[in-house]
Every structure is written in C-alpha cells, then in structure tokens.
Structure 1
Amino acid sequence: MEAKLSFSQDSPPISIISAAKVAGVSLSIDPSLAAGSAPVLCFSSGESLRGINPILEYIAQSSPSLHGRDAIESGHVVEWLEYAPTFLLGSEFEVACSFVDGYLMSRTFLVGHGLTIADITVWSNLAGIGQRWESLRKSKKYQNLVRWFNGIDSDYKDTLNEVIAAYVGKRGIGKSPAPNLKEKVNDSKDPSAPEVDLPGAKFGEVCVRFAPEPSGYLHIGHAKAALLNKYFAERYQGRLIVRFDDTNPSKESNEFVENLLKDIETLGIKYDAVTYTSDYFPKLMEMAEKLIKQGKAYVDDTPKEQMRSERMDGVESKCRNNTVEENLSLWKEMINGSERGMQCCVRGKLDMQDPNKSLRDPVYYRCNTDPHHRIGSKYKVYPTYDFACPFVDALEGVTHALRSSEYHDRNAQYYRILQDMGMRRVEIYEFSRLNMVYTLLSKRKLLWFVQNKKVEDWTDPRFPTVQGIVRRGLKVEALIQFILQQGASKNLNLMEWDKLWTINKKIIDPVCARHTAVLKDQRVIFRLTNGPEKSFVRILPRHKKFDGAGKKATTFTNRIWLDYADASAISKGEEVTLMDWGNAIIKEIKMENGVITELIGELHLEGSVKTTKLKVTWLPDIDDLVPLSLVEFDYLISKKKLEEDENFLDNLNPCTRKETLALGDANMRNLLRGEVIQLERKGYYRCDAPFVRSSKPVVLFAIPDGRQQAKLQNGSMAAERRPISPERCNKRKV
C-alpha cells in the first residue's frame, strides 16, 4: 500500500525512516508539517496513522520478524518502544544507558534472538543524539551497549547510515511525538521569534498560574496541571504563580495549604510567587458591587433547587429585574450575614437563553458563615471560582490560563465575565484531564475515604495523591516522565497505572539494593549434611551491577530456610542452585500429613549453575533475621471507569490491603524509611517503617512493576484483574 510520511522539517523521525528502510516499506517523504507536530503516515485509501509508535508498529507488522516471534515477544517490543524516548531526556540519558547496558550483558538483541523494531528504534535514538553518544561510544563505560550498537551498525551499515547522514544534526531527532513538552520549540533569545502552542505568547512575557483549591492534597491529576504550567513558564522564560483558590471556607484548611506546597516542591516546581484568592477579597467585593450598580449583576433569593431547575430550562428569575437599589440593599444583607441575606446570592446578568448553560446567569457570590482558614470570620460572603478566577487572573498579570478540557463549556463564561468587568483578556489554553483506571480523582470522594477511616489519611498508598503514590514507592522522576509523555494534548485518555509503574521500574531496578526474605509461616528448613560446621560471613554487593548500592554481610550455615513454594517444587535427587552460594543436591524430603517439614541435602559447589532448573533464595537459620511485614495494595474501586451516573459507593473494592509476615536478612536492620529495595524473586518494596526492635516488624510496601497488563495478555489471569481475595485480606482495612 502506497504511503506518505509527513513530519516537521525540524523533527525528522529517523526511527520510522530507518525501520521502513530495513523492512523494505516504501515511503514518500513530506517534511512540511508545522514545528512540533507529530509525524503522520497517510495511505492512498485515505486512512492515516499519527505518532511515532503507531507508525513503527505498522511497519513491524509489515515485516513480521521485526515484531517478535510470538505474542510475548511482541509485548516486549511494545515495552521497548515506550522506553526508547527515555534516551532523549537529558537527565535520564545515562540512567537509560546503564540500564540497557546491564540488560544486554547476555543478549545480542533487545527482544528474542533476532532484530526487531525495538532494536531499530533504540539504535536510532542513540544515533540521533549525536556527540554525547559518540563520546560514550568511544569510551569503555557501556561496553555491552556499544557492542550491540556496533553490531547493528555493521549489519545494516548502508541502510542505516544513509538515514543518519541525511537527518542527524536536525533539531529534535528521535523525539517522542506525544508531548511537545520534550522539545524546546524556540532556542532563540529573540523576543520576536515565532512561538507555538500558547496563543499569542511572547518570549519573556508569559505568565501562567497553578491554582489549586486547598481542600485536599495534590493528586496525580493536579500534578499534570502543575507540571504543564512549569513547562510553559520555563519554555517562554516567563513567570509561574502558585495561587490558592481559597473561596470555600467549609472545605479548606491550613493543613491542605502546607501539604500542597510540600507536594509542589516534591515535583521540583519553582515558582515566582505564592498568592491567595483571599488576598483579593476586598477588590472582588468592590467589583461585585460595581457590576450590581451597572445592572450587570443582581441579587437573587430563589431557592437553590428552583434556581437550578430554572437555569436548565432557561427561565428568568423573578429577581432578575430588581432595581439597583433593591439589589444593593440585599447585597448589604448578604455582607452582614443576616437571616435575609443568607437566603440570597449574587448572579451575573448574562443570557438565560444561551444554549451554553454556563452563561445562564451564573452565581458570583454566596453566603457562608464558616470561619476562613486565613482570615477567620471577617467575611460572611465569598466569591465563586467562576467569578474570582478571571478577575484575579487579569489582576495578577496572567497571560495564559491553563485549564483542563472538562471546563471547555465554561470558557465562554470566563471571557464574558472578563468583558463585563472591563478587564484585559486572558488566553485560555486547554489540555486533557489525566484520568487513571480504577481511580477516583474527586477530592470530595477521596475525602469520604479519609473521613470514614477506609484509609489511613491523604498519604495512604492506595490514594492517587502525590504523597500516596510516592509512599507506595513511585519515584518522582517516573511521575514527571509519565506526565510529560502525555504532553499538552487535548485528547481524553484513560491511562493505565501499569505504564507509570513500568517507567518507575526502569528507574529503580538499576540502582536499588537486593535483599532476601522468606515467608514466616510458609518456610522449610534445609539441612546441609556437609555444610559449614561453624557459620561464616561473606561481604557481598547489595547490587551486582551498581556499586553505589553498597555491601551486605551474608551468613553461611549448615541449616538454611527456603520458601515452602520452592521446597515443594524440588524433587528428591534434584540439584538446585542456592543463590550467592552454589549448588546443592536434595537427598531426602521429610513430610508429615502431606506437608514438607524438612529437606536434607549436601552442597555440590563444583556443580554448574547453568545445568540447574531451580535457582532459589535462602536465609541462614540464625537469630538475627529481621521480622518483616510485606504489604500489598489493590485499587479502592472495582470498576475500571465509573460513568457519570454511577455511585462510587456501589463499586468499592471489598479488600484493598493484604499483609504477609516474613523474615529478612540481618542487613535489613539498616534500611531507612523511604528506601527502595528488591527482595530477590519477590519484587520491589519501599520501606515505610524501618527496624526499631525485634518484636516490631519492618514494614515494606510492595511496589507494582507494571507487569499486570502483560500477565493479562499472556493469559495468566483468568479475570480482567486479579484482586486481593477476601481470605488474603486484612479485615481491619478496606
């Protein structure tokens, strides 16, 4: 099928062009798209594909060998396509090189035993980096990575070098198309140089604001908005204001303010000022009174439900034609918080017949006698977000207000209110809200879990708050990378957590220390008849490929503990490998009532680890083992996506926390709170409560590794998800 590849001249997708050359797919080239545009592959049928990875997968399907030999290999290819852009993030470049170098220690290709689209993509991204990679290539720092790179370079020299010669040196080579956030659209310091993305943006004059309401902790959805504001402020060398939209004293508190600032700092966001909408309450009240006097607003005492019904039906309120004097009199009653005033609100006089219901006389001010967390009981009236936001944006010099696309219908209201106020225009820039599967992002709903003690607090590892997911073991770098990959796109996406945890794994795996544990209630003693009569200690690395992880002391004895699952998989006479020690042969398996009670065997250290089927972890039978509590979490709701008319209370997951007692090696006494480790053959964990005394276990939170979707694809799960079963659940927790 004839196809045309269109892309931006300053961002040629050499991975696509290289893959097409290798696969023998004929493409006509059209470098005419606007700067920052994602590449598009157009077919003669009129259909098209947009984005680097979809086009690469199409090319791979055109040459099946490039997509892996089976479904599992194809899944791994997709994983590598998602990982490839990591090389293009300056701060992550050498981390990525280190990870892939270790991965290639015993491999010729990234997936399987032959070249795939994964190799071509990663190779192209490295080649496209230019001098930085060439310098490393000449050194001996990443020998396995260089061996792999040179092998592909040699095998496809003519094909690939033709592409490199034609396109390397062009700006933005190999960039992922998902976010323009990965690209510096304009490196020029010339203020008149053209900019894209933000309408009417001028270099050095852009001012954006991140305006959270202090009614909860920062969650992953807020993080996207915060990071987008940070990005545009930096890109245009402008200003970023953090403004607390504190207009509802019933929901807000200083606790939330303090933790929002903490979370903003955690995300690495540098801001120019912190302000509060409450700083502008006097001016907002003046503006409301001005609009009343001008006949652009009125005071309404219609009951709330009736008002809502009238707005839906386009029926004007009986108060809409009150005189200015009547409105001002009722406004004064509202300010004083009198019984009469409490029945009223101020509404903008816009257009009750407009098809856009947000323009049907929205509420500007309402009464509230609850004390405000900053200014106490000074005020009895508070502005709505819809009224305060455009006013403060214009007053603070904001040039571009970033809002998620869920507010799209209210954009016309925003501009109309600014117009009625007689204030300058602020450009709205929309981006898609970040939605995650099995996840609630409504602060009202999250507050229900806190108030009903279904979770510990806002930092609970089951929560999508920044503090919650960091406590569960997510690295902030992974969160930032994940969000920036989404970019400023307006497309609505329901994102999988597995993608985020996969990024996280690739960050933690190359550097986190390795330790050993066995399940306390599911272990079997293994007696080595020729084992050391007197125990001895060896100093071993905590990570065989990363010296920075430090050392650990391992005790060798003639009695060791194995996990029962491993013991039950061993046959009499079988030779197994004891990790970090050597081989052993099973001579006898003792059982009582069908349960294994003891294994007896002898060391066979001259045996080859390559010939054994089982490589098992073990712990010495000594008093210094550390008690552990291994905690696993599940989603708070049981449905992937709740529809608007669904009650989340009807979809609560009955069991979301499982605790398993275990024993860990003696070195785990030194774990620090927040430290991430890997328990060999069990997974990754974050230390939530370090060692205090032997009667109090070290608490380790299991960190997802992003493999759940892969398990689903490989058919190892019978259902859509595998929740924690009730019998494995801690009954004291949801």
Structure 2
Amino acid sequence: MAVKLVFPRDNPPLSIISAAKIAGVPITIDPCLPSGPVPTLHFGSGDFIHGVNTVLRYIARTTSVSSFYGEDAIQAARVDEWLEYAPLILSGSEFEAACSFLDGYLASQTFLVGHGLTVADTVVWSNLRGAGQRWESLRRSRKYQNLVRWFNSMAVDYALEEVTSASAYVGKRAIGKSPAPCLKEKMPGLENTSGHEIDLPGAKVGEVCVRFAPEPSGYLHIGHAKAALLNQYFADRYKGRLLVRFDDTNPSKESSEFVENVLKDIETLGVKYDVVTYTSDYFPKLMEMAECLIKQGKAYVDDTPKDNMNTERRDGVESKCRNNTVEENLLLWSEMVNGTKRGTQCCVRGKFDMQDPNKSLRDPVYYRCNPDPHHRVGSKYKVYPTYDFACPFVDALQGVTHALRSSEYHDRNAQYYRILQDMGLRRVEIFEFSRLNMVYTVLSKHTLRWFVQNKKVEDWTDARFPTVQGILRRGLKIEALIQFILEQGASKNLNLMEWDKLWTINKKIIDPVCGRHTAVLKDKSVPLTLTNGPEVPFIRILPRHKKFEGAGYKAITFANRIWLEYADASAISVGEEVTLMDWGNAIIKEIKTDDGTITQLVGELHPDGSVKMTKLKLTWLSDTEDLVSLSLVDFDYLIINKKLELGEKFLENLNPFTRREALALGDPNMRNIKRGEVIQLERKGYYRCDVPFVGSSKPIMLFAIPDGRLKSTSIVSGA
C-alpha cells in the first residue's frame, strides 16, 4: 500500500522520518505544507492519520523490527511515556535540566526502554538533534558523557545523522514553493472549503490579514484564547498579518483596566500581532457613514421604545418611523449626536426587510445614545455604534481579508455582508469556527461580571474563573492551554468539552519537573514516637524529584518524634510493620486512644525490614519548630449543572460550595517556594503557590491543581 508523509516544508518531522527508515516502513515524503500544520500520513486507500505520536505508534506497530514498540505491555507503556514527555522536556527553559536527567538515566542503560532499540530512542534522539545549537553546545562541552555516548551511538549505528540531515535538506529546498496545491492538511477538525481543501476561502500567501477583536469589557477567557490562537495560526500559515483591535463601542462596560489585561493575556498566550488598534479610532468615519446611509435612505432614526422594538422585530412589524423623510431623520440624528433628551430616546436602524425569515436582517440597530464617558475619548461623543455596524466597516477599512467568528454568529453573517454592501465597501470573507464550551462553566462576560460585582469571587483572576489569568492562577501551564485549544482546531462542530482533558495535558507537563514536598493536615495529625529513633535530630539532603535533577534538593530532618496523617494512623494495627517514605520501616508497638480517638502511636525503627513487604507507605514530618504553616485551598465549579440550557438562569444553578481551605504543616523547605511555583505534595496531589512564605504568622497558600483523573475538578462538592 502506498504511503505518503506530508509535513511542513520548514519543519521536517525528524522523529517520524528516522523511525520509518530504521523500521523499514516505505514512506514517500512530501514537504509541501507551509509552517504550522501537523504531519500527516496518507494511505493509498484514502485514509490518513495525523500527529507526530500517532504516526510514530503506527510505524512502531507495523514494523518487522523486533521490540520496536517494546517487548511487552509494560515496555510499550514506557515507550508511550517517552513519546509524550520527550517533546516537552526537551523544549523550553528546562532543556539542560532534561539533558542532565537523561545523562543520569543512561548511565546504566544502552537503550531508553528494555534491551533493544525502540521508537522512544528515535524520538529522544530527534528532539535533541532538532534543538540545534543548544544541544551542540552541550555536546561539545562533554558535560553529559553518558548522553553524548548514547547520542553518537544512535547516529552511527543506525545512520540517524545521515537520515535527518537529508530530511532537513529536503525541507529547506522546498521553502518558497506555493503551498496552495498542497494545503490538504489542516488543523485537526478544519473543514474542507474547496477542491484544493485550502483553509481560508480565497486566501493567498502573503496577502491574508486577520484580526482578533476583543471587547474591553472583561478579561480574556478560555473561549477568547481559542479565537486569538486560531487567528495567529492562520496569520502564520499564510505569512500574513494579525491585527489586535479593541471593539470599544460600549463605554458603560469598558475600561483601561480591561485593555491592559487583555494585552497582558495576549502576550501570555504568545500571540504575535502586527499592531494594536481601536474601533474608537474610527468614530468620526463611522459617524460619517451613518449619516451617509441616512441620506441615501438606507437607514433611519427610530424612537420606538426598546421593548416594543424587540417585539416588532420578532413579529415582523415595521416601525412607524420607517418612512420618515431624510430631513426628519437627519434632524433626529442631530439630536442624538448632541445627546439631548429627545436624542436619547432614539436609535439609528438599517432599512432592510422586516419580513425576512432571518431576524438579524429585520432593520438592525446601528447607533445608540450613551452619556457615559469613554475610557479613551472621554465625553467627546454622545452616540456610539453597535458592534454589528462598526465591525464590518472597520474590517473593510483596515484591510482585513478574513474575519474569524464563532458559529454562534452564523445567523448574523448575512447581516454583516448586507451592511458592507450598503456601505459600498469591499467584501470581507467570514470564516466560522465553533465556540469553545466547557462543562460547568459560564463564559458570558455579563455573567462573569456579576460574579465579580457580587463578591462571589475575588476578582477576574479568581482561580474558579475561566479567564486566562484565573486558570493559570489555578495551576494550568500556558503550554497545556495552547495544546488543548489547538487540538480542537477550527471545526464548526459544537462540542461541550470536559475540563479533565485539559488538566490531563497539564499533568503531563508538570509531573516530570515539579518538586515533591510533604505536608500533614494540622487538625488531623497524630504523633508517632520512635523509641529507638535518633536522640539528636539529623538532616539528609534528598532530591526534590527523584527522576529530575533540575528540580533541586531539599533538606529532610529525621527525629524520634514524627507526625502522621490521622487517616494513616487509623489504618494501622498494633504489631504492624509500615514504611516511612525516604527513611525505612517501623513496627507499631502501641496505639493510644482517648474516647476512641487516636492520640499517639509508639513504635520502633526496623532498619532490616523490607519495603516490598509492607502494605502502608506513609508520608511523615519530624516534629520540629521550623515546620511551616500551610493553607491548602481546593475549588469546585461555580455552577452545578453541566450545561445551562437555553433560557435557564445561572442564578438558579449557583454552587454554594466552591472553595474550601484546610490548614496543614509542611516541611521547612517550602519556605523557599516562589509565587506561581508548582509542587507536588506527596500522596495529596499537585499545588500552585499563590502566597509564598512571608513569616511564621501567615501560612503559605497553596491552590490544588486538578490532575484530570476525577470527573469533578475538586473534592469540595457537597462539602
């Protein structure tokens, strides 16, 4: 069966090409895509699979090379771990730390998994090779001799250097070719738009201009992040321009604070734009256009009360003002511009067709009066354009070629085009994608503003909020957010997404590198006295992460009196042997109680005991004065329904239990944890430091990070 690998011409997937070569899987390579899309394997049958790891697993399963996917299920699982972790740990700021870890790992290993070459070796090798100068500098320094030995062995024994060098040359040679005939691979879920399956209708490389146009009435949330990243994706793909334009047409809801934080969030997302503009820059031109349409009889001024107007639009009833003369309309328009009492009773409407089955075409509103000062232009204007009027006008004037909009606006697309037509402006193509909807989550800024104003949350950065700053404060890594959003692609299919998938991606990023610490709940702890324990406490230096040297080290105190969790103490029987993690075994000799409550355990260390023979492996803390106070904070969703149905009020679905705090004691090393740092508390889970150590009188505040294993983000529900 003919198999062809299609990939970005400036980014050859070295791991796939090298794995296919070694595995003897015949693949024709076609580097015809522009930058951005994922590599895809096309079969003669018409089927295809895409994604680096998906293709690698296919190659590993279909080759005749013995043990290329491991020799058993456990080894196959370890290969999968390397496929997931290698691109993460060998990119970004932790590159050298990852090399250090690999060097130690390969000290006694010839191959990464088992006793033979697997696809894991080709993936790690290719990621090192792809790191370019960063790897070459370390390679020449001879700092990591075990890793260099393994790398050189792969290069020579399996001719990987020859394969990847040729691949890189093919990729470079193809740069500059027109991508139009080869744009068959898209972001996952992107729907075909023509026989050539290009992404954007009528798009030409170097001529595309897209815009991300948030309203500065709140902070960016996860839905906005999808829109921003998709705009960036298409701008990069077509080597075009990306504009950031603030749709600041409603001074009652907007502020400079929101502008500043939206820009901050855009930077956090890594979105690179060409220029920042504002719809308010075009207010004079928009007013001229509104007056021009009135003079042409394509718009009129209406003083119908808002509720009556909504009823008339629903029922297809023409307004009594629809047949005003141009002079009457201009007079009322002047009243609006001056913000008189009469003017505030009016609005400007487009004159379309009140019988149109598409209700968005039933004379939409173009302009309204608003006396509130604007965050940029102050009180200069008394009238402001609606989004529906301003958006197509400014899109056309700014040279936007493709306006990306979520499919919730589908019924208003015809209105967008009709307004452009009436204005006599060029056509701007609309490209739809599905809105990102998350379970148990509201994304309406109006609703989010209610939570802030009514003190149901701290502010827009609250860890329970779906804002970019909120979910990052909860402990999500920006890399996980970007990966999650781009995996959704530009599909028009409406999906209700689970948070668990996002948190699972996040766990794969934080687990390999975050430091480990120990904590016991303050009001649920029991002392264990070790009768043969050290009379004078001593300290050992241990790694914060046993598999990642880059996490650093911690000093652990060993004493004859230690703290255990009450739940652990309750599970122990007299005479039972348990394992104290990072220390050894102990035998429990006595359990003291008071009215059924365990108050103390007495035991003795058993240095010769086997860790493999014990059922309980316990975390513990020495009872010393330098333990730090912790506040462990857990969160739950703000609403109790997975999805709010149409017309269902969020106020009737508020979750009364969304935050819980528990006081705990932590090991003294946690004094050095910085704000924003992610750690793992042994046997408790992952946490992000929200308030670091500032003194013994105030606890370190740690926010629990979901790990994707539970269908709820928290154990708070029902508390």
TM-score range, shorter chain: 0.7 to 0.9
Q: Name 2:621's counterpart in structure 1.
A: 619
2:432 corresponds to: 430
When structure 1 is superposed on structure 2, of 434-443 and 343-352 the one drifting more is 343-352
Q: 2:357 — aligned with what?
A: 355
Alpha-carbon separation, structure 1, partners of 2:273 and 2:611: 55
Alignment-derived partner of residue 724 in structure 1: 716
Gaps of 5+ in 2: 173-183, 191-195
Task: Give me the whole-angstrom Cα distance separating, in 1, the residues matched to 2:521 and 2:414.
Answer: 60
Alignment partners' CA distance in 2, 1:382 and 1:499: 42
Q: Which residue of 2 aligns with 1:716?
A: none
Find the partner of 2:274 among 261, 266, 272: 272
Amino acid at match of 1:316: E
Supply the distance in 2 between the matched residues of 1:72 and 1:369 (Cα, whole angstroms).
68
Hey, what does 2:587 align to over in structure 1? Answer: 585
Is 1:630 aligned to residue 652 of structure 2?
no
CA change 1:321–1:332 in 2 (3 A) is same
Normalization by structure 1: what TM-score? 0.79
Report the alpha carbon displacement of residue 60 of structure 1 after superposing the two structures with TM. 12
1:547 deviation in Å?
3.4
Q: CA RMSD in A?
A: 4.7
Q: Is the 8 A contact 1:102 1:545 kept in 2?
A: no
In the other structure, the counterpart of 1:564 is: 566
CA shift at 1:235, angstroms?
Answer: 3.8
1:669 aligns with 2:671: yes
TM superposition score normalised by structure 2: 0.81
CA distance in 2, matches of 1:443, 1:196: 34
Deviations 1:591-625 (A, max 9, x none): 22222221111122343433333221111111111
**Equivalent position to 1:535, from 527, 534, 537:** 537
Q: Among 327, 339, 342, which residue is 2:341 paired with?
A: 339
Deviation at 1:538, TM superposition (A): 2.6
Alignment of 1:450 with 2:452, yes or no, is yes
Aligned pairs (5 A) from 1:197-346: 197-346=199-348
The one of 162, 173, 187 equivalent to 1:179 is 187
1:290: Cα distance to partner? 0.8
User: Any conservation in 1 of the 2:101–2:549 contact (CA below 8 Å)?
Assistant: no
1:525 positional shift = 0.6
Aligned residue number for residue 683 of structure 2: 681
Q: CA deviation at 1:427?
A: 2.5
The one-letter code of the counterpart of 2:258 is F
Residue 584 of structure 2 contacts residue 611 of structure 2 at CA under 8 Å; is this kept in 1?
A: yes
Shift of 1:95: 8.4
Q: Secondary structure at the match of 2:411?
A: helix
Q: Give the Cα separation in 1 of the matches to 2:165 and 2:376.
A: 62
Name the amino acid aligned to 1:645. G
Structure 2 residue matching 1:525: 3-state secondary structure? strand
What letter matches 2:297 in structure 1? G
Partner of 2:513: 511
Q: Is contact 2:298-2:350 (8 Å) kept?
A: yes
Partner of 1:388: 390
Secondary structure at 1:212 match in 2: coil
Q: Is the 8 A contact 2:706 2:714 kept in 1?
A: no
Shift of 1:535: 1.6
Amino acid at match of 1:503: I
SS of 1:694's partner is: coil
Change (3 A) 1:78 1:300: farther
User: Take 2:379 and 2:99, find their aligned partners in 1: how far apart are those partners?
Assistant: 58
Shift of 1:667: 1.9
Aligned partner of 1:553 in structure 2 is 555
Change in CA separation of 1:528 and 1:105 when aligned onto 2, cut-off 3 Å: farther
Once the two structures are superposed, residues 484-514 of structure 1 have per-residue CA deviations (whole angstroms, 9 ceiling, x without a partner) of 2223333322222122222222222222222
Distance 1:402 1:142, change over 3 A: farther
Question: Are 2:3 and 2:44, in contact at CA under 8 Å, matched by a contact in 1?
Answer: no
Matches of 1:489 and 1:102 in 2, distance apart? 44
Q: Which amino acid aligns with 1:642?
A: L
Question: Does the Cα contact within 8 Å between 2:464 and 2:470 map onto a contact in 1?
Answer: yes
The more displaced of 307-316 and 673-682 is 307-316
| Cα pair 2:520 2:564 within 8 Å, conserved | yes
Q: Is the 8 A contact 1:462 1:634 kept in 2?
A: yes
The number of residues matched between the two structures is 692
Q: In the alignment, is the contact (CA less than 8 A) between 2:689 and 2:701 conserved in 1?
A: yes
Task: Tell me if the contact between 2:633 and 2:703 (Cα under 8 Å) persists in the aligned partners.
Answer: yes
Q: Match of 1:598, SS? A: strand
Q: Distance in 2 between matches of 1:197 and 1:424?
A: 21
Q: Tell me which residue corresponds to 1:713.
A: none
Contact 2:7/2:13 (<8 A) preserved: no
Could you say if the C-alpha distance between residues 47 and 650 of structure 1 is closer, same or farther in structure 2, counting changes exceeding 3 Å? farther
The 5 Å alignment of 1:184-195 reads: none
What secondary structure does 1:291 align onto?
A: helix
Change (3 A) 1:288 1:75: farther
1:274 Cα deviation (Å)? 2.0
Partner of 1:367: 369
Q: Are the aligned partners of 1:585 and 1:602 in contact in 2 as well (CA < 8 Å)?
A: yes
- Aligned-residue offset at 1:126: 6.7
SS where residue 258 of structure 1 aligns?
helix
Unpaired segments ≥5 residues, structure 1: 183-193, 710-719, 728-734
**2:445 partner amino acid:** K
CA–CA separation in structure 2 for the residues paired with 1:95 and 1:235: 32
